[in-house]
């Protein structure tokens, strides 16, 4: 297991997301941003909008995705 924070993934806070692979952490971040948006947390809105854009345009966002996968791979195991 490895851990990345909301901030590591482009968000504004230090909420930790743990997972066996980068995809699990990215999906946890997406859920976190959705919950923050639903709760009216404006501090997460910019990151939520960016995440929505990545899901809608995956080819365009491949650079971000590959960067996060590398960042995750470079992390030590928890």
Instruction: Tell me the pTM.
Output: 0.90
Whether the per-residue pLDDT at 59 is higher than 90: the answer is no
- Residue ranges in 1-78 assigned as alpha helix (H): 22-38, 45-56, 62-74
Question: 59, exposed or middle or buried, with CB in 10 Å at 0-12, 13-18, 19+?
Answer: exposed
Residue 55 reports pLDDT greater than 90: no
Domain limits at 12? Answer: 2-74
- The whole-angstrom distance between residue 26's C-alpha and the CA centroid of its chain comes to 4
pLDDT in tens, 7-16: 999 999 999 9
The tokens for 64 are 């971000």
Our count of domains for the chain comes to: 1
């Amino acid at each position: 297991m490895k851990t990345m924070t909301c901030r590591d993934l482009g968000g504004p806070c230090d909420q930790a997301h743990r997972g066996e692979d980068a995809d699990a952490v990215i999906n946890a971040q997406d859920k976190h941003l959705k919950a923050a948006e639903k709760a009216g947390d404006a501090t997460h809105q910019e990151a939520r909008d960016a995440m929505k854009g990545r899901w809608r345009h995956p080819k365009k966002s491949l650079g971000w995705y590959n960067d996060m996968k590398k960042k995750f791979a470079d992390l030590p195991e928890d």
